[in-house]
DNA sequence: GTAGGGTTAG
């Protein structure tokens, strides 16, 4: 058991590497027979104790502890404290407590370590009880105690405000509120325990400030949803007369204020703060990558990651957990695989967070096989792993598989949460599994007691709408307990379009124009409905309304990865260096497509482009350009993955089916919310999307 | 011998 500490080589090693040796050999030595005890090779007591500071794994720690007991070294108060700290770092608060109980004379320090152990392991109640017990042991809380006790209150949230105020008052008496650590803990405590930000701000403005104080202020505001105030605070910090340099923590703190919907200016400002940092610690890199990922800027996130590598900063698991989804969002399969290799090479697996991210990344890159490979190779699966796989199947139109997997998850004993149901309901809607979807919704509400959210209703409306039950979908919207959002009405409008229901379609469109008057997609959907009904005057009206309201059509844009680069094409794009060849290839394809009996569907072309462009190159949808580009630049037979920012139009859908047959290519198109896999003239969506 | 803010997957 004590073998690792008694290796014959230990004596010849200099003091420093001992801890490394101990750490590194743990896993292997546990397999071996214990080596005979040899007094001459026993490490010096100082070195053993020093090893406690290296955050040893729990097994090593227990060995070490036993060894210290056997050598009567464990009873020393200083050593006890170190042992407590080491056990706390490994989450063993029970042992921490028993070590504490074994200390005959409790000092402030021993209390401080105990309280901190509890707080860091989520036991804030126990921490506060220990704090209360201090007076009975005549231990006076000091500048180390108060920050921990206040942090315990912060973890407890609003219910702990009264206790927290008492602790604040207790800190005032010895004048400890002037201590930076105490002050900073007070800022965070008031943000977490008090409803308004006023108390926190008051503490902040009345004290001396360092970088942590600013970070606490920014984090508190950002987490309270006061995004504008958080960014303003960051600007004040940067422009403050007594300059405080932002650090990685500053960027991490402002991050919640930059989640989806942050202004371009704010993101640029934060990017500027990042660029201006002289020393960039890993948290800074990670936060910047996350900021871009959270704002749908995966290309920028990948650029930061590449810069990080170029500058020799070491990516850690947090970095990978952010950059892997960026690869997925950007459909950068090559980059994703490269990152995956790094994860493997660094031995970061098993790591469920990274593995779950990898599943999602491969699924988004159309590599269902690789997603499944990661899933199968995992040591254990949690709700996120299963949900990732369920939605991977769903996105690829494998509704039945998705359902089977969902049931398998239930069979494994995990209980589904709201997000798992979103995934499986989504899969049902995209495969037209009406009855199954209905049954699942019922089980969700009655068996699992999950209160349906907007997303669930959105799936159900979609499910009914696609299945042609537009009235039932509308009925559901009218009876649901919350206000429908644009996604819900959009799902209804989509159903109306698929099943030519003009009257309900108009109702949906009306609501949508109130909720999202600038969203061009809804106008296009409505005009599609009119076009299908051949109401050309109405089509014209919709177009005019768009002009009057200044609604710009979102330009169709398709991405395709070649080597390390993701190439982007806009509708009618002629800016690519290979533009000539691309259009030549398209012409050649068109000729062969006509031979194969393909005729242009004017209905969809009509509403995505202006009349006069219909025959010209401006009419060429981006996905066709991307496909032609990929055909030219890859070996015959290579599968092609295209990612689109809009829903694929009918004409392109028909055209790509034909192209897949005549070019002999598997073509996978990821549009706004699902995958189309075209092969041999057919699509995996079964023309139902 | 001990302390404050902050980054990761569906």
User: DSSP letters of A297-343?
Assistant: -HHHHHHHHHHHHHTT----HHHHHHHHHHHHHTT-HHHHHHHHHHH
- Can you give the distance from the CA of residue A481 to the C1' of nucleotide B2 in angstroms? 52
Q: Span A216-243, mean pLDDT?
A: 92
Q: Span A407-431, mean pLDDT?
A: 94
Q: Which residue is nearest to nucleotide B2 (CA to C1')?
A: A109
Estimate to the nearest angstrom the gap between the alpha carbon of A361 and the chain centroid: 11
What's residue A319's pLDDT?
97
- Can you give the distance from the CA of residue A455 to the C1' of nucleotide B4 in angstroms? 39
A407 and A544 fall within a common domain: yes
Q: Give the model confidence (pLDDT) of A650-667 as tens digits.
A: 788 888 999 999 989 999
Q: Which residue is nearest to nucleotide B6 (CA to C1')?
A: A249
A268 and A405 fall within a common domain: no
A203 touches strand B (CB under 7 A): no
Indicate the pLDDT class of residue A20, thresholds 50, 70 and 90: very low
Hits for CB < 7 Å against strand B across A residues 39-58: 53
CB–CB of A434/A467 below 8 Å?
yes
What's residue A595's pLDDT?
85
A407 and A436 fall within a common domain: yes
Least Cα distance to A291 among A315, A256, A265, A331 occurs for A256
Of the three residues A78, A105, A132, the one that is the final residue of a domain is A105
Indicate the average pLDDT of chain A: 87
- Can you give the distance from the CA of residue A61 to the C1' of nucleotide B10 in angstroms? 35
Q: Span A240-254, mean pLDDT?
A: 90
Indicate the range of A132-136, A168-172, A633-637 predicted with least confidence: A633-637
For residue A127, being part of any structural domain is answered with: no
- Can you give the distance from the CA of residue A457 to the C1' of nucleotide B9 in angstroms? 25
A299 and A348 fall within a common domain: no
Indicate the pLDDT class of residue A589, thresholds 50, 70 and 90: confident
In the complex, which nucleotide's C1' lies nearest to the CA atom of residue A320? B8
Indicate the pLDDT class of residue A613, thresholds 50, 70 and 90: very low
A60 touches strand B (CB under 7 A): no
What's residue A608's pLDDT?
46
CA distance linking residue A615 with residue A612, whole number of Å: 7
Positions on chain B within 7 A of a protein C-beta = 1-10
Q: Give the model confidence (pLDDT) of A664-682 as tens digits.
A: 999 999 988 788 989 898 8
- In chain A, the number of structural domains is 5
Q: Give the model confidence (pLDDT) of A349-404 as tens digits.
A: 899 999 999 999 999 998 889 999 999 999 999 999 999 999 999 998 899 999 99
Estimate to the nearest angstrom the gap between the alpha carbon of A534 and the chain centroid: 44
In the complex, which nucleotide's C1' lies nearest to the CA atom of residue A285? B7
Q: Which residue is nearest to nucleotide B7 (CA to C1')?
A: A287
CA A441 vs CA A384, A435, A450: distances in Å? 20, 10, 10
A278 and A288 fall within a common domain: yes
For residue A199, being part of any structural domain is answered with: no
Does residue A7 carry a pLDDT above 70? no
In the complex, which nucleotide's C1' lies nearest to the CA atom of residue A213? B5
Does residue A606 carry a pLDDT above 70? no
Of the three residues A314, A342, A372, the one that is the final residue of a domain is A314
Q: Span A471-478, mean pLDDT?
A: 93
The b-or-e profile of A476-515 (16+ CB within 10 A means b, else e) is bbeebeeebbbbbbbbbbbbbbbbebbebbbbbbebbbeb
A19 touches strand B (CB under 7 A): no
Does residue A56 carry a pLDDT above 70? yes
Q: Domain range holding A83?
A: 1-105
Least Cα distance to A6 among A30, A33, A40 occurs for A40
Q: Give the model confidence (pLDDT) of A522-567 as tens digits.
A: 888 778 788 877 788 888 888 888 888 888 777 788 989 888 788 9
In the complex, which nucleotide's C1' lies nearest to the CA atom of residue A176? B3
What's residue A607's pLDDT?
46
Q: Span A261-277, mean pLDDT?
A: 92
- Can you give the distance from the CA of residue A334 to the C1' of nucleotide B5 in angstroms? 37
- Can you give the distance from the CA of residue A59 to the C1' of nucleotide B5 in angstroms? 32
User: DSSP letters of A427-453?
Assistant: HHHHHT-HHHHHHHHHHHHHTS-PPP-
- Can you give the distance from the CA of residue A505 to the C1' of nucleotide B4 in angstroms? 56
Q: Which residue is nearest to nucleotide B3 (CA to C1')?
A: A144
In the complex, which nucleotide's C1' lies nearest to the CA atom of residue A150? B4
Least Cα distance to A648 among A543, A568, A557 occurs for A557
A317 touches strand B (CB under 7 A): yes
Greater confidence (A358 vs A606) lies with A358
A418 and A518 fall within a common domain: yes
For residue A15, being part of any structural domain is answered with: yes
In the complex, which nucleotide's C1' lies nearest to the CA atom of residue A318? B8
Estimate to the nearest angstrom the gap between the alpha carbon of A484 and the chain centroid: 26
Does residue A35 carry a pLDDT above 60? no
In the complex, which nucleotide's C1' lies nearest to the CA atom of residue A151? B4
- Can you give the distance from the CA of residue A446 to the C1' of nucleotide B9 in angstroms? 29
Least Cα distance to A342 among A374, A379, A315 occurs for A315
A121 touches strand B (CB under 7 A): no
Greater confidence (A603 vs A134) lies with A134
CB–CB of A339/A567 below 8 Å?
no
Kind of pairing between the strands at A667-670 and A675-679: antiparallel
What's residue A599's pLDDT?
77
For residue A172, being part of any structural domain is answered with: no
Indicate the range of A13-27, A205-219, A541-555, A641-655 predicted with least confidence: A13-27
For residue A393, being part of any structural domain is answered with: no
CB–CB of A628/A659 below 8 Å?
no
A544 and A403 fall within a common domain: yes
For residue A55, being part of any structural domain is answered with: yes
Q: Span A107-123, mean pLDDT?
A: 96
What's residue A559's pLDDT?
87
Of the three residues A56, A89, A105, the one that is the final residue of a domain is A105
What's the DSSP call for residue A257?
G
A223 and A345 fall within a common domain: no
Does residue A33 carry a pLDDT above 50? no
Determine phi and psi for A562, rounding to 5 degrees. -135, 120
CB–CB of A398/A676 below 8 Å?
no
What's residue A619's pLDDT?
64
Indicate the pLDDT class of residue A605, thresholds 50, 70 and 90: very low
Indicate the range of A269-283, A356-370, A502-516 predicted with least confidence: A502-516
CA distance linking residue A343 with residue A322, whole number of Å: 13
What's residue A259's pLDDT?
87
Least Cα distance to A619 among A638, A632, A637, A606 occurs for A606
- Can you give the distance from the CA of residue A27 to the C1' of nucleotide B8 in angstroms? 26
- Name beta bridge partners: A562: A565
Hits for CB < 7 Å against strand B across A residues 77-96: 77-78, 81-82, 85
Q: Give the model confidence (pLDDT) of A62-96 as tens digits.
A: 999 999 999 999 999 999 999 999 999 999 999 99
For residue A587, being part of any structural domain is answered with: yes
DSSP reduced 3-state for A660: helix
The backbone region for A2, taken as left when phi is positive above 0, alpha when psi lies in -120 to 50, beta otherwise, is alpha
Hits for CB < 7 Å against strand B across A residues 349-368: 352-354, 356-357, 360
Longest distance between any two alpha carbons in chain A, whole Å = 98
A600 and A610 fall within a common domain: yes
Indicate the pLDDT class of residue A617, thresholds 50, 70 and 90: low
A437 and A489 fall within a common domain: yes
CA distance linking residue A382 with residue A385, whole number of Å: 5
A329 touches strand B (CB under 7 A): no
Q: Span A42-63, mean pLDDT?
A: 88
Question: Can you read off the two tokens belonging to residue A428?
Answer: 């049902």
A276 and A298 fall within a common domain: yes
The b-or-e profile of A388-415 (16+ CB within 10 A means b, else e) is bbbbbbbbbbbbebbbebbeebbeeebe
Q: What is the CATH number of the domain that holds A509?
A: 1.25.40.10
CA distance linking residue A667 with residue A683, whole number of Å: 9
Hits for CB < 7 Å against strand B across A residues 100-119: 107-110, 112-113, 116, 119
DSSP reduced 3-state for A216: helix
CA distance linking residue A624 with residue A320, whole number of Å: 33
Estimate to the nearest angstrom the gap between the alpha carbon of A544 and the chain centroid: 40
What's residue A563's pLDDT?
83
Question: Can you read off the two tokens belonging to residue A501?
Answer: 């229901």
- Can you give the distance from the CA of residue A532 to the C1' of nucleotide B9 in angstroms? 43
Q: Give the model confidence (pLDDT) of A300-354 as tens digits.
A: 999 999 999 999 999 999 999 999 999 999 999 999 999 999 999 999 989 999 9
User: Which residues touch A453 (CB under 8 Å, ≥6 apart)?
Assistant: A418, A422
For residue A619, being part of any structural domain is answered with: yes
A403 and A545 fall within a common domain: yes
* C-beta neighbour count of A341 within 10 angstroms: 10
A282 touches strand B (CB under 7 A): yes
In the complex, which nucleotide's C1' lies nearest to the CA atom of residue A82? B1
- Can you give the distance from the CA of residue A19 to the C1' of nucleotide B5 in angstroms? 30
Highest mean pLDDT among A427-436, A504-513, A609-618: A427-436
What's residue A32's pLDDT?
35
Hits for CB < 7 Å against strand B across A residues 246-275: 247-250, 252-253, 255-256
Helix (DSSP H) and strand (DSSP E) numbers for chain A = 35, 6
């Amino acid at each position: 058991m004590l073998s690792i500490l008694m290796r014959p080589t230990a004596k010849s090693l200099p003091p420093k590497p001992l801890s490394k040796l101990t750490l590194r050999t743990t896993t292997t030595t546990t397999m071996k027979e214990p080596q005979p005890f040899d007094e001459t090779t026993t490490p010096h007591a100082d070195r053993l104790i020093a090893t406690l500071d290296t955050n040893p794994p729990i097994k090593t720690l227990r060995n070490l502890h036993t060894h210290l007991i056997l050598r009567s070294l464990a009873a020393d108060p200083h050593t006890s404290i170190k042992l407590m700290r080491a056990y706390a770092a490994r989450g063993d608060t029970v042992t921490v407590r028993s070590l504490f109980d074994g200390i005959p004379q409790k000092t402030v320090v021993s209390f401080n370590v105990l309280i901190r152990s509890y707080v860091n392991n989520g036991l804030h109640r126990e921490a506060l009880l220990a704090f209360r017990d201090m007076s009975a042991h005549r231990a006076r809380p000091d500048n180390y105690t108060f920050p921990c006790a206040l942090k315990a209150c912060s973890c407890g949230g609003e219910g702990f405000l009264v206790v927290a105020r008492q602790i604040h008052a207790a800190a005032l008496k010895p004048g400890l509120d002037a201590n930076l650590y105490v002050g900073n803990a007070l800022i965070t405590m008031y943000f977490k325990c008090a409803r308004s930000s006023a108390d926190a701000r008051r503490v902040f403005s009345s004290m001396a400030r360092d970088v942590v104080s600013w970070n606490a202020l920014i984090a508190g505001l950002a987490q309270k949803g006061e995004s504008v105030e958080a960014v303003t605070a960051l600007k004040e910090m940067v422009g403050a007369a007594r300059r405080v340099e932002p650090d990685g923590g500053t960027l991490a703190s402002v991050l919640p204020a930059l989640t989806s919907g942050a202004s371009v200016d704010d993101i640029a400002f934060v990017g500027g703060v990042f660029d201006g940092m002289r020393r960039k610690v890993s948290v800074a890199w990670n936060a910047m990558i996350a900021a871009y990922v959270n704002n749908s800027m995966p290309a920028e996130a990948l650029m930061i990651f590449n810069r990080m590598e170029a500058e020799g900063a070491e990516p850690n698991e947090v970095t990978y957990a952010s950059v892997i989804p960026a690869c997925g969002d950007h459909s950068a399969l090559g980059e994703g695989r490269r990152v995956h290799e790094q994860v493997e090479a660094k031995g970061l697996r098993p790591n469920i967070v990274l593995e779950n991210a990898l599943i999602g990344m491969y699924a988004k890159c159309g590599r269902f096989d690789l997603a499944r490979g990661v899933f199968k190779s995992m040591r254990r699966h949690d709700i996120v792993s299963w949900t990732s796989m369920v939605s991977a199947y769903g996105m690829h139109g494998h509704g039945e598989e998705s359902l089977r997997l969902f049931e398998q998850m239930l069979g494994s004993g995990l209980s589904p949460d709201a997000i798992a149901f979103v995934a499986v309901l989504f899969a049902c809607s995209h495969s037209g599994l009406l009855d199954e979807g209905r049954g699942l919704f019922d089980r969700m509400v009655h068996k699992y007691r999950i209160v349906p959210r907007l997303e669930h209703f959105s799936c159900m409306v979609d499910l009914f709408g696609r299945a042609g039950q537009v009235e039932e979908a509308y009925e559901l919207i009218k009876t649901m307990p919350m206000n429908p959002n644009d996604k819900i009405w959009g799902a209804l409008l989509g159903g109306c379009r698929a099943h030519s229901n003009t009257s309900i379609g108009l109702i949906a469109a009306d609501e949508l124009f109130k909720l999202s008057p600038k969203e061009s997609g809804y106008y296009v959907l409505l005009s599609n409905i009119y076009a299908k009904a051949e109401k050309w005057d109405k089509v014209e009206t919709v177009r005019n309304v768009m002009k009057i309201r200044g609604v710009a059509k979102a330009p169709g844009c398709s991405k395709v990865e070649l080597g390390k680069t993701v190439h982007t094409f806009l509708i009618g794009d002629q800016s690519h260096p290979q533009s000539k060849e691309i259009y030549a290839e398209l012409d050649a394809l068109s000729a062969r497509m006509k031979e194969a009996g393909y005729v242009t569907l004017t209905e969809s072309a009509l509403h995505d482009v202006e009349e006069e462009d219909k025959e010209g190159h401006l009419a060429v949808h981006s996905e066709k350009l991307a496909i032609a580009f990929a055909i030219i630049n890859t070996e015959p037979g290579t599968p092609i993955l295209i990612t689109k920012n809009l829903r694929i139009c009918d004409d392109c859908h028909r055209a790509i089916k034909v192209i897949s047959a005549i070019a002999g290519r598997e073509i996978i198109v990821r549009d706004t919310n699902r995958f189309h896999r075209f092969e041999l003239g057919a699509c995996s969506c079964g023309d139902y999307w």
